[in-house]
Amino acid sequence: MAMFQNRFDDEKHSLRLSEDGSYTAYSKEYNEHYHSTKDGAFSESLQKHIIPAYNLTREKNEIYILDICYGLGFNTLATILYYKEHAPQKKLFIYSPELDVSLVKSLINFNYPKEFEPLREIIEAVSQDGLYEDENFRVEVFLGDARKYVRRFEKKFDVVYQDAFSPSVNPMLWTQEYFADIKNSLREDGIITTYSTALKTRLALYNNGFLVYLNKGEVFRNATLASCKLLANYELVNMEHKIACNPDVRPIKDEELFLSH
C-alpha cells in the first residue's frame, strides 16, 4: 500500500504498519502513535474526521477547516482526496499548526498509502514550503504553537479536526480554556471532530456550551463530535447523566498545568 521508499525512521520517529495496511509513525518523544494502529491511519482519518465533517457541511460551497495538529498530514490529505472524489466543485481552505518542524520537512519521504499518489505535488509543496494552493484547495501549515495560532482566528472555521496527541501526554491541547479558544475560532454552526471519548475531554467541550455526540461505526472505535447546534443522524451524549455518574471527573484546566510546572 505504501508508495514511497522508507527513509522516514529517525531519532524521533519510527514507522509502524497499521491494520488497514497504511503506515503511521510512533513518536518517541510522546511515546504514542500518530494514529490508532487498530483502526488504521487512513481509515481513522476518514471515519473519525473527514466523512462526518463532509456530511455535516454538505450544503456549503466553501469550507474552512482547522486541522489540529498537522502531524503526518493524513487528515488534510484524506480530506482533499475525499472532496476530489465526492465534491470536486467545492473549495477547501485548510489551516494546520504543527510544532515539529523537522517532521513536516521529512514527510516528503513518508510511506503514504497509494491512494495519496495523485497528491504528490501537494505533499512536496507542504513539506518544502508549508503552503499549497490551486483553484480549489489552499493548505497552510503553521510551524509553531497551536494555542497561539488558534487565537488568531475568530468565527472562521466550519470544521476543527481535534487530533492532537492524547490528553495524557499533550494536555495543553485538551484543556477547557483551549476549547474556549476553539469555540471562538468556529462559526456558529461549526463542528469539532475528535477520536477522544474521554469524559474529561467531553466535559471541557460541554462546559464551553458544546453539545456532545457519539460518532460510531462498524469499522472503527467510537469517537466524538461536538457542536453548538443540533446535529442530525448522530447520538447525543447525555452529559448530565455522565456527570452524575462520575462526580469526581473534572476537565483539564490551564491553571492546573501551570501549577504542576
Integer CA distances (angstroms), 87 to 5, 62, 114, 254, in order: 31, 11, 21, 40
Q: What is the pLDDT at residue 31?
A: 79
pLDDT along the chain (261 residues), means of 10: 50 85 86 82 95 97 98 97 97 97 93 95 97 98 97 98 95 98 98 98 98 96 97 97 98 87 55
pLDDT of residue 1: 41
Q: What is the pLDDT of residue 258?
A: 76
Dig out the grid coordinates for 79 from the structure.
Answer: 480530506
Sign of the CA dihedral running 216, 73, 31, 25:
positive
Angle, CA of 180, 158 and 117, to the nearest 5°: 120
The residues, any chain, with a CB within 8 Å of residue 49's CB and separated by 6 or more, are: 75, 78, 79, 161, 163, 193
pLDDT of res. 202: 98
Do residues 203 and 226 make contact, with C-beta atoms less than 8 angstroms apart? no
Q: Give residue 11's pLDDT.
A: 74
Q: So what's the pLDDT on residue 51?
A: 98
pTM across the whole model:
0.92
Q: Report the 10 Å Cβ neighbour count for 230.
A: 10
Torsion of the alpha carbons at 100, 62, 74 and 84, rounded to the nearest 10: -140
Q: How would you classify residue 229: left for phi > 0, otherwise alpha for psi between -120 and 50, otherwise beta?
A: beta
What is the pLDDT, as a whole number, of residue 261? 55
pLDDT at 2: 42
* DSSP designation for 6: -
Beta-ladder partners of 33: 26
Q: What is d(CA 81, CA 73) in angstroms, rounded to the nearest whole number?
A: 12
